[in-house]
Amino acid sequence: MNLSVEGLSFDYPARSVIKNIRFSISKGDFLAVLGINGAGKSTLLKCINRILKPYAGEVYINDEDCFKLKGRQLAQKIAYVAQSNLSIRIKVLDAVLLGRRPYINWDISNKDLEIAQKALEILGLQEYALRYLDELSGGEQQKVVIARALAQKTQILLLDEPTSSLDLKNQFEVAEIIKKIAEEQHIAAIVSMHDLNLAIRFANKFLLLKDGEVFAAGGIEVITPENIESVYSVRVKIEKFEGIPIVIPIRF
């Protein structure tokens, strides 16, 4: 599986947001989309998923033009987890079963239930299946919405800042789960992130956005002090601790 984004551009009425975005990833990749607030990270994900309609550009999965697919067909290929998810009065299993909507014609099948239960198992949420979503912690709720996306059985996962409101333990757990899902389920994950060190720890591909454009894209080689300073306007050093690169700000 290969996802190719070619020349995506989107404007709001008052301003340009993303311009000529190009990159490609394959199954098993965890792509971290990085940049300051307003760089276009969330807009990019919404354009890929056709929540927003770009005025230029295409998205292909295995040479198939995603923008020519019907909504249900697209939902069978791309799953999207928004930046914030409302905690509503719904049982966890039912919330995960929402991920099966693109496949359900009349009623939930045994196969749908099996897929939802397997998604809960992968996320370690089996014991919460019959609890209500609004009774769970923020970290548990975030895992539920990822389980819902996983139950959607797509080739691409789009996650908009899935760790931004979580404590340190849950940030690591969620990022590790995304990496594991990408590798073991043979899908590609595109994740907008703020935490550079979390991105370096778990992602294998990086897309740095500046002023709505691609500043750098590639593997760990693009995470350099010079690139970070250019994108974030902060001088940094990159040191290694137990073999793991760590970004250390040295001047604001």
Domain boundaries, the chain: 2-225
The per-residue pLDDT for range 17-50, each reduced to its tens digit, is 999 999 999 999 999 999 999 999 999 999 999 9
SS3 label, residue 132: strand
The confidence score (pLDDT) of residue 186 equals 93
The confidence score (pLDDT) of residue 252 equals 59
What residues contact residue 155 under an 8 Å CB cut-off, 6+ apart?
Answer: 1, 3, 27, 61, 77, 78, 187, 188
Q: What is the mean pLDDT of residues 150-174?
A: 92
DSSP label at residue 124 = T
Q: What is the mean pLDDT of residues 97-114?
A: 89
Cα–Cα distance, 252 to 249 (Å, whole number): 7
SS3 label, residue 137: coil
57: left (phi over 0), alpha (psi -120 to 50) or beta: left
- Mean pLDDT over each residue of the chain, to the nearest integer: 93
Q: What is the mean pLDDT of residues 226-250?
A: 94
Cα–Cα distance, 219 to 32 (Å, whole number): 10
| CATH, range 2-225 | 3.40.50.300
Confidence (pTM): 0.94
Per-residue pLDDT at 215 exceeds 90? yes
What residues contact residue 44 under an 8 Å CB cut-off, 6+ apart?
Answer: 8, 18, 21, 33, 192, 209
The confidence score (pLDDT) of residue 86 equals 60
Contact in structure between 228 and 221 (CB atoms under 8 Å) = no
Q: What is the mean pLDDT of residues 83-106?
A: 85
R_g (Cα) of the chain, nearest Å: 18
The one-letter code for the residue type at 50 is R
Candidate from 2-6, 104-108, 159-163 with smallest mean pLDDT: 104-108
Kindly report each contact of residues 230-233 with a partner whose C-beta sits within 8 Å and lies 24 or more positions away, as own/partner: 231/34, 231/35, 231/36, 231/39, 232/36, 233/36
Residue 42 C-beta-side C-alpha neighbours within 13 Å: 12
Q: What is the mean pLDDT of residues 56-63?
A: 93
